[in-house]
Structure 1
Amino acid sequence: MRRAAAFADAALRRVLEVIDRRRPITQLNGLLAAGLVDSVLSANRAAGSHDGVAVLRRVRVQAAGGDDRAAEVFGSYSRGHRVHAIACRLELAATGRWQVVALHIG
């Protein structure tokens, strides 16, 4: 789960940076399942820049269903003075790389 935790931290930071328009959306290719890129684009349009940038604060990872090929990730990020929740599910792809297959940004 250490590799999953490292991937989750990097992937969630990248998602938040894309939402804040600090990175191009193309940098999510391969990290997220195909349908999730659309949801990040929606969050990108809805994010207000007047609240400051999003900063990932805490990430926790646990195996999903006792299987080392899937993990549940939950954490928090701050934007200005507010704290928000973020969660995702990771799965180990056939290529041997982790991929975000579900994402919820609160």
Structure 2
Amino acid sequence: MPSHTTRSPAARGSFTSPVIDYEPAPAPVTGPCPPPSPAALHRRTPRPLRPAPAAAPVAPQPAALFADAALRRVLEVIDRRRPAAQLRALLAPPLLATVVTHARLRHAAPARLRRVRLRAAGSGSTAAEVFATYTRGERVRAIAGRVELVGPDRWQLVALQIG
């Protein structure tokens, strides 16, 4: 019976093949580019005007005020500066559990809401998409959601994504 000895890969043969160089040969460099002339730096080049983007539907003002207040309160609950029970009227029930889960983590710095933008969702004024940024220490983070009109004058946050 032949004995099985371990042979090195070099002894068994190479499993690789040489790589073929497909790159073109480098072009010779003649020198640095000359600096632009002062006239070229101050030349007024006419640019064609771009068409204005299609106007997005505008969210109603009450939705904007509600969204700003609701997001501030959500961040305060996450930072444990406000009890979660105060969000019951503002958030849909599944979202309250999400916010409470985020509140279990300890954060080194409090969150500060910086910018809130709204866009109407659909042709009616009964819902709006919310996009916001907030800072926590030196980091800038995002938060997004959807607010809907659930009563004659009552808005509610029905979707929330915290980044």
User: Shorter chain as normaliser: what TM range?
Assistant: over 0.9
Which position in structure 1 is the counterpart of 2:127?
A: 70
Match of 1:26 among 61, 64, 85: 85
Higher-strand-fraction structure: 1
Q: How does 1:1-106 map to 2 (within 5 A)?
A: 1-46=60-105, 48-50=106-108, 52-106=109-163
Alignment-mate amino acid for residue 77 of structure 2: V
- In structure 1, how many angstroms separate the alpha carbons of the residues matched to 2:97 and 2:160? 11
- In structure 2, how many angstroms separate the alpha carbons of the residues matched to 1:19 and 1:34? 16
1:45: how far off?
1.1
- In structure 2, how many angstroms separate the alpha carbons of the residues matched to 1:95 and 1:63? 18
| RMSD value, Cα | 0.9
Higher-helix-fraction structure: 1
Higher relative contact order (CA 8 A, sep 6+): 1
1:13: how far off?
0.2
Unaligned runs of 5+ in 1: none
- In structure 1, how many angstroms separate the alpha carbons of the residues matched to 2:107 and 2:125? 38
How many residues end up aligned between the 2 structures? 104
- In structure 1, how many angstroms separate the alpha carbons of the residues matched to 2:134 and 2:126? 26
Normalised by the size of structure 2, how large is the TM-score?
0.62
Normalised by the size of structure 1, how large is the TM-score?
0.94
